Structure formats: structure tokens, C-alpha cells
């Protein structure tokens, strides 16, 4: 009987260590696997289980770092399932909580990162994740035709952009899709100046062929100009003059010119998944290479010395896994005619860039912790005059510290790898919209009146 308890205790301890070693990412592996096999309902059930709630409409009372990340993941699964209101709710709760977590992170958390565990302290989301919270929620509001809610998200995005620009964290690419959508929101809200300002920001981030026609229409009623907008207008005018073909034909082939009552269909396709972080043990030599420049000369020398003595051979650290679906080409057609899609953002590439920027520091902290464990063990051993008991206590100290050391694999792992946007003006009436995303084919019948618009959001996280 006693041995049974011992075995159970050992199994429990091993389970704890295994979870601790895998970190947050290990707790979402099953849900990600469910998405891989095209079962978002199962992924949703597993995330609800993690959040310890009975339904997707519930939010846990305790909104710690892990639960906020589960909420972010759940919001994307809900978007895939077409439950945009619930997705919005999760994103709004997580948005506020991310800010609180960010603001509450203090010096002791940074110290803990170097002494105990990479995962100590509240989660600090990288800039691209924070900006995508508002971008994704703008998609939710637009899919419901709710311009007022979308405008709030556009303004929140602007506040964050400004903050990141001031702090030097934001890169242009991050703001591409958000600014594109914010421009659309203000265009449809009848605020052409504001719309052009956002479209200009989107053009700063990347090439959006689908913006040429809207910018030209807006420029006819607004005097807002920037060098980029003026250049685009000049290019379009030159193309029109030299080409006999009619410009930007709507799906049914009718000319846009002189057709203010045309309706508009916007297709947003979110597909694939960003690379998750994965806990990994790497040889100390490789870790020292990664951390070169981020490690103090003293720690570098100490780590080399311990490695030479064979006391440190492996270092636990979080590695970036593989993205999914980034090479896929989604397609969209309206009434049988294929529509061009702009590649709005390669989220997986931004995730990799963000990771590469901090990898050295992360590995450096992992090496520092490893050294601290060895040193702590040595102190215990020497305090007991190098006896057998001291050796055991030393090993115990190191084992405890190792078990506590969890590589920080926290991230918003259910973000799509890529975002593509297409928009087409169509005659008022009935239209058929086809999309093909990662093998998932959808066919929708939509009816639009004069000047009406619809935003279709297809999210496939497989």
C-alpha cells in the first residue's frame, strides 16, 4: 500500500515537472492538434476546459496570464466558428487585461526571470500581438456590419500604434491590415479625411492594389493628401490615360465610373497558424552562441568554465516552432470570377522577427539560471563539508530549482499565419461568393442594396 502511494507520488511529481518543462504551450497542444485536424469545436471545448468554464460565453474570474492567453486563443477559434460576438467579448476582456498585466510587471518579475524561471511574472505581449487584438476585433465588428464598434477598435489601434511608435517598438508591417480596415471603417462612416489618413498608413506598410480605386473615389471628395496618396493618384491617372481598358471593373464587368450606387464586397481571409513556442533543451555550446552579446563577460566565462568541467551540458529554453499554412494560396470568387487578394500581413514572419529580436536575452537568462542552480548546489555541498549528505542536499537543491525553471512558451499561438484582403464593387442585387481556404470551400449567397457593403471573414486556423 505504502509503495503504491510512493509510486503515485513519483508519478505526480514527474507530471508536474513535465508540465513545468513544457510551459504554457504544452497546455494548448491538444487544442492546436484539434485545429490541425479541422475540428475547431473540439479545440473550443478543450480551451473552455482549460479556462474551467462551462460555455464559450463564460469568462473565468481569475484572469491571470495563462487565462488571458487562453481567451485570446478562444477568440480566434470562435471567429473560425463564425461566433463573432463571443469572439469580440473575449478579445475585449483580453485587451484590457493585457494592459493591466503589462503595467503590473515590475523589477522583481525581471529578477525572477534571471533567478527562478523564464515564465515568472505576468505575460508581456509583443507589439504585434497587441496590435492584432484590435485588428481581429475590427474584423469581428465589420462582419456584423457594426461600424460604431469597429470605429472604437480603430481608435484603440491608433492609441497603441502611437505608443509603439513613440517607444520604437512598432514596425510598419504590423499596422498594415489594421490601418487598411480602419480606413474602410471611416470610409463607410462617411469620414473621407480620416479614411484617407488610415489608407495612407496602410500604404506605408505595404502594397495594397485593392486600395487604388477607393483612394481615388475618396480623393474626389476630400482634400487630404500625402506624397504617397498624390503619387498613387498620379499613377492611376497615367494608367487610365494610356490604357483603353476600363478601370477597375466590378465583378459583372460594368464600369465603376459614374456608378455611385454600386455595392461592395470585402473578403478577409485569415489562414494557417503562427509558430508556437516550444520548450527545448539545447547544448550549452549552442546556447552560448545564441546568447553572445546578451550575456555579461563574467557569466560567459563562468558558463564556459562550468561547461568545461561537465557540470553544465544542457540549457532549457523556449524555441519557436513551425508555422502552419504559410505557403497556402487562398482564393475567392464572386459570381464565378476570381478576385485578387492582397497579402495584408505575414503574421508568422512578424512573430519570427519579434522572437529573433529577444532570443539572445531569453537564452542569456536561461544560462544565468542554470549557473545559479549549479552555484546554489555547490554552496549547499560545501556548507556540509562535502559529505554524502551534502551531495544529496546539493542534488536536491538543483533538482528543485530545475523543476521550477519553466521556459517561457507563452504566446498567442492561435493567431493566423497570414491575412489576405480583397474587395470588389458589384451591382446591387444577389451575388454568390466562393472562398477556398486551406481546402475548406465555402459558398455564400448574399443580397446587397445600392451602396450597401458586406465584410466576409473566413478564418481557417488549420
Partner 1 sequence: MVLLVSCSCLIACGGPKAVRGEDVAGLDDQAMGTGLDRYDLQKLLHENMEALQRSAVIKRWQSENQPTLAVIPIRNDTSEHIESALESLASDIETALVNAGHVRIVSLERQGQIMEEVRKQYGDAFDPTTVARWGKQSGARYFVTGKVFSTDEMFEGERRVQYSLFMQVLDAETSDVLFQYKSTLTKAIVR
Measured from the CB atom, the residue of 103 and 327 that comes closer to partner 1 is 103
Residue 341 CB, nearest approach to partner 1 (Å): 27
Between 188 and 302, whose beta carbon lies closer to partner 1?
A: 188
How far apart are the C-alpha atoms of 95 and 158, rounded to whole Å? Answer: 14
Q: Are 270 and 143 in contact (CB under 8 A)?
A: no
Nearest approach, Cβ of 195 to partner 1 (angstroms)?
A: 10
Residues 6+ apart with CB under 8 A from 181: 135, 138, 139, 142, 150, 154, 268, 421
Whole-number minimum distance, CB 201 to partner 1, in Å?
17
Closest to partner 1 by CB, 133 vs 341, is 133
Q: Between 60 and 360, name the residue whose CB sits nearer to partner 1.
A: 60
Decide: helix, strand or coil at residue 278: strand
Which of 195, 208, 201 lies closest to 164 in space, CA to CA? 201
State the minimum distance, in angstroms, from the CB of residue 160 to partner 1.
7
Q: How far is the CB of 88 from partner 1 (least distance, A)?
A: 9
Nearest CA to 186 among 138, 231, 238, 128? 138
* Residue 332, SS3 per DSSP: strand
The C-alpha atoms of residue 106 and residue 177 are separated, in whole angstroms, by 32
Give the DSSP letter of residue 273.
B
Residue 92 or 200: which CB sits closer to partner 1? 92
Closer of 63 and 288 to partner 1 (Cβ): 63
**Nearest by Cα to 212 from 225, 195, 229:** 229
Residue 12: exposure state from Cβ atoms within 10 A (0-12, 13-18, ≥19): exposed
Which residues of the shown chain bind partner 1 in the complex (CB under 8 A)? Answer: 61-62, 92, 96, 99-100, 102-103, 147-149, 151-152, 155-156, 158-160, 162-163, 166, 186, 188-191
Least distance (Å) between residue 20 CB and partner 1: 23
Query: What 3-state DSSP class applies to 24?
Result: helix
Pick the closer one to partner 1 by CB: 54 or 148: 148
Minimum Å gap between C-beta 163 and partner 1 is 4
- The count of other CB atoms within 10 Å of the CB of residue 277 is 23
- What cell numbers appear for 165 in the block? 511608435
3-state secondary structure 46-72: HHHHHHCCCCCCCCCCCCCHHHHHHHH
Rounded to a whole number of angstroms, the minimum distance from the CB of residue 52 to partner 1 is: 13
What is the DSSP track for 356-400?
HHHHHHHHHHHHHHHHHHHHHHHHHHHHTTT-HHHHHHHHHHHHH
CB of 59 to partner 1, least distance (A): 13
Name the residue nearer to partner 1 (CB basis): 191 or 226.
191
- Measured from the CB atom, the residue of 193 and 356 that comes closer to partner 1 is 193
Amino acid at each position: 500500500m505504502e509503495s503504491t502511494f510512493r509510486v503515485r507520488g513519483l508519478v505526480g511529481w514527474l507530471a508536474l515537472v513535465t508540465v513545468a518543462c513544457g510551459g504554457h504551450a504544452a497546455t494548448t497542444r491538444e487544442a492546436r492538434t484539434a485545429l490541425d485536424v479541422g475540428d475547431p469545436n473540439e479545440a473550443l471545448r478543450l480551451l473552455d476546459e482549460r479556462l474551467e468554464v462551462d460555455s464559450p460565453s463564460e469568462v473565468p474570474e481569475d484572469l491571470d496570464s495563462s487565462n488571458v492567453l487562453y481567451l485570446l486563443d478562444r477568440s480566434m477559434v470562435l471567429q473560425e466558428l463564425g461566433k463573432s460576438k463571443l469572439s469580440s467579448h473575449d478579445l475585449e476582456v483580453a485587451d484590457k487585461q493585457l494592459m493591466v498585466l503589462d503595467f503590473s510587471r515590475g523589477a522583481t518579475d525581471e529578477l525572477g526571470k534571471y533567478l527562478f524561471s523564464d515564465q515568472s511574472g505576468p505575460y508581456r505581449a509583443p507589439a504585434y500581438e497587441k496590435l492584432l487584438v484590435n485588428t481581429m476585433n475590427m474584423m469581428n465588428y465589420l462582419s456584423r456590419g457594426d461600424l460604431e464598434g469597429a470605429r472604437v477598435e480603430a481608435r484603440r489601434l491608433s492609441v497603441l500604434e502611437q505608443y509603439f511608435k513613440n517607444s520604437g517598438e512598432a514596425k510598419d508591417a504590423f499596422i498594415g491590415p489594421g490601418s487598411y480596415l480602419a480606413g474602410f471603417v471611416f470610409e463607410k462612416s462617411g469620414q473621407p479625411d480620416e479614411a484617407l489618413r488610415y489608407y495612407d498608413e496602410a500604404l506605408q506598410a505595404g502594397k495594397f492594389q485593392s486600395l487604388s480605386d477607393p483612394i481615388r473615389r475618396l480623393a474626389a471628395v476630400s482634400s487630404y493628401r500625402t506624397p504617397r496618396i498624390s503619387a498613387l493618384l498620379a499613377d492611376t491617372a497615367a494608367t487610365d490615360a494610356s490604357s483603353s481598358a476600363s478601370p477597375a471593373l466590378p465583378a459583372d464587368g460594368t464600369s465603376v465610373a459614374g456608378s455611385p450606387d454600386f455595392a461592395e464586397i470585402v473578403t478577409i481571409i485569415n489562414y494557417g497558424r503562427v509558430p508556437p513556442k516550444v520548450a527545448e533543451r539545447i547544448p550549452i555550446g549552442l546556447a552560448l552562441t545564441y546568447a553572445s552579446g546578451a550575456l555579461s563577460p563574467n557569466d560567459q566565462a563562468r558558463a564556459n568554465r562550468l561547461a568545461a568541467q561537465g557540470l553544465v551540458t544542457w540549457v532549457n529554453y523556449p524555441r519557436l516552432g513551425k508555422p502552419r499554412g504559410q505557403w497556402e494560396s487562398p482564393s475567392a470568387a464572386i459570381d464565378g470570377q476570381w478576385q485578387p487578394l492582397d497579402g495584408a500581413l505575414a503574421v508568422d514572419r512578424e512573430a519570427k522577427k519579434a522572437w529573433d529580436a529577444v532570443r539572445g536575452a531569453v537564452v542569456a537568462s536561461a544560462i544565468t539560471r542554470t549557473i545559479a542552480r549549479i552555484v546554489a548546489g555547490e554552496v549547499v555541498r560545501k556548507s556540509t563539508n562535502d559529505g554524502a549528505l551534502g551531495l544529496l542536499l546539493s542534488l536536491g537543491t538543483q533538482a528543485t530549482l530545475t523543476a521550477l525553471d519553466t521556459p517561457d512558451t507563452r504566446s498567442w499561438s492561435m493567431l493566423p499565419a497570414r491575412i489576405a484582403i480583397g474587395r470588389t464593387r458589384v451591382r446591387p442585387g444577389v451575388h454568390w461568393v466562393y472562398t477556398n481556404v486551406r481546402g475548406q470551400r465555402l459558398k455564400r449567397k448574399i443580397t446587397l442594396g445600392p451602396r450597401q457593403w458586406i465584410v466576409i471573414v473566413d478564418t481557417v486556423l488549420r
